[in-house]
Structure 1
């Protein structure tokens, strides 16, 4: 099966966001940052109450409010910053071979992807997993990279998904 599609900056950003949202390592780090910082705030309140003449109750209330705001708004900030960094990376770096027109061939042996100045191949056994979101299929060839197939660009994406899942078994 041969597929010709255009990989846009938007699809690349969607992949990075999908990967981050589904990475156990990133999610663990996010939870640690989200809840660890407010605990640190409470510790700072205790230290400040001992160093200064301020009552602990006032400091705890103030830092608890700050901590609650952090817990509520930090995930939004975290994901927005990842998205901006990814967009900046694309604009600053050489995205030749990543973005643009791709010609992917699915054979009995595996996948071959040809794009501007770049050709990659992977056997079915070397592929890690297939995931998807509303916009794309992601065929992971390593734990951090994947072939990104935009669903809107590939009319037969369901057949591609079934074929890939069958071959990866």
Structure 2
């Protein structure tokens, strides 16, 4: 539920939403796909590995007494498949590892119901673990996709607001853009 009350001196908005493991998985995939360092790492692994494949073809032909052309064809096909399918493998591996980490630890307060109260000074997030107050200066970036709003409080973590729980996501987006742009 979303309620927005306009007072003469202060504007505030209260958002109640539930976070699931899928929400965190989605955020981490969003972050990986938009992080310059993650994209760079993916591309290095994606395109540098085939160079090693071709180098292996050369070395095996030199020292293994196997015709270079045969090895080159095999390693070239392997390289092409690597380039095509490596991003899927990369993201799938990250997802599996994150699911495993969720099963390892206690996630009380991370998952479940959250209430986010936004006002002119900042926001207060309430969950079963208590409350966290953050001034707008503590929010470093505002990003969104089709399903979520992300209020980054560091380069690798954010407050995740699922749009599915909002009555009026445009109103929330306009409010957040106005506050985060003042940083």
TM-score scaled to structure 2, two decimals? 0.89
Q: Is 1:106 matched with 2:118?
A: yes
Aligned equivalents of 1:105 and 1:115: distance in 2?
12
Give the one of 31, 36, 59 matched to 2:71.
59
Residue 143 of structure 1 aligns to a residue in which SS?
coil
- Which deviates more, 143-152 or 123-132? 123-132
Match of 1:133 in 2: 145
Q: Is 1:86 matched with 2:98?
A: yes
Give the one of 41, 47, 58 matched to 2:59.
47
Aligned equivalents of 2:151 and 2:111: distance in 1?
16
Match of 1:147 in 2: 159
Match of 2:10 in 1: none
Aligned equivalents of 2:98 and 2:146: distance in 1?
20
Deviation at 1:83, TM superposition (A): 1.3
**Deviation string for 1:33-77 (max 9, x for gaps)?**
001110000111111111021111111111111111111111111
Residue 59 of structure 1 aligns to a residue in which SS?
helix
Aligned equivalents of 1:14 and 1:118: distance in 2?
24
Aligned equivalents of 2:132 and 2:39: distance in 1?
30
User: Alpha carbons of 1:24 and 1:167: their partners in 2 closer, same or farther (altered >3 Å)?
Assistant: same
Structure 1's consecutive aligned runs of 4 or more residues displaced over 6 angstroms after TM superposition are none
Aligned equivalents of 1:6 and 1:47: distance in 2?
56
Match of 1:6 in 2: 18
RMSD: 1.1
**Deviation string for 1:5-26 (max 9, x for gaps)?**
1111111111111011111100
